[in-house]
Every structure is written in C-alpha cells, then in structure tokens.
Amino acid sequence: MNHAVQKRDIVDEPRGALASRTLAMPANTNPRGDIFGGWIMALMDAAASMTAASHAQDSVVTVAVSNIAFLQPVQAGDAVCCYTDPIRIGRTSITLNVEVWVLRQGRGTRLKVTEAEFVFVAVNENGRPCPLGGTGERPS
C-alpha cells in the first residue's frame, strides 16, 4: 500500500481561489436523483473561463479539458463551489486546475466532488490566438 498517495489524496482545503458558487437544483438531476455531470462540467467551464479571461485580459476560449474525475455525487440542495488555480501560463494559453467542492444542503464540512484541468487560449476579435495580457488586435 502506497501511503504517500493516500496522504496526498486526503485534502480538506480547496486548491485555488473561489471562482463561482451556486445552488444545485432538482431540475439539474438525472433519473437517479443526482446532479448531471454535464451540469457540473458547465459550471467548471464557466468558472475557469472567468479566471482565464482575468489573467489573459482578453477573450478566451476553452480548447481542452483533461483528467476530469467525478469523485462523489452532487445532490439537489448542495451549495456547489468551483475553485480555480492557474498551473501553466504560456504565450497564448493558460491551464487551470478546477476543483468542485460542495456543502451538503449548504452547511457542514466541505466535500470535494469533482476535479479537472481546463486549457484556454486568448483570442482576438477574429477568433485567432493572441498573446495573453491584452495585447490582441482590437478594433480602432
């Protein structure tokens, strides 16, 4: 048994900054009564997009999502919090670690339910990649 992996996996604090918070509603549940994974992914993408755009000082588009893991189900009534943490910043792209934590019925101890990496590229008004930092071509 690898104790280093187990210890690393036991985390009680979110990684990164709070980027969004919303309430999971019954309309977002699957036939089993849990929240749809696609709804969670959309929340993650929106939260990460806001963080990436802030860093880029420009428009950004999602170009890749990897290493997504659904760790626990999300239930209607849970407070769903997305945390973002930049892990790589390139010339035109930024990669963010995104974690989703919930408070069951809006209270109690936070529980990590989903994590993934999102990659965004800064784009100009023509949809072409441009350098991060607001140096993309802008109309006069």
Region of 7 on the Ramachandran plot (φ > 0 left; ψ -120 to 50 alpha; else beta): alpha
pLDDT of 35 strictly over 70: yes
Q: Which domains does the chain have, with CATH numbers?
A: 14-123 (3.10.129.10)
Q: How far apart are CA 87 and CA 84, in angstroms?
A: 9
Instruction: Note the pLDDT tens digit of each residue in 68-81.
Output: 999 999 999 999 99
Instruction: Note the pLDDT tens digit of each residue in 40-58.
Output: 999 999 999 999 999 998 8
Of 139, 140, 132, whose CA–CA distance to 58 is shortest? 132
For 84, the token pair is: 């973002």
pTM for the complete prediction?
A: 0.86
Give the count of beta carbons closer than 10 Å to the beta carbon of residue 18.
12
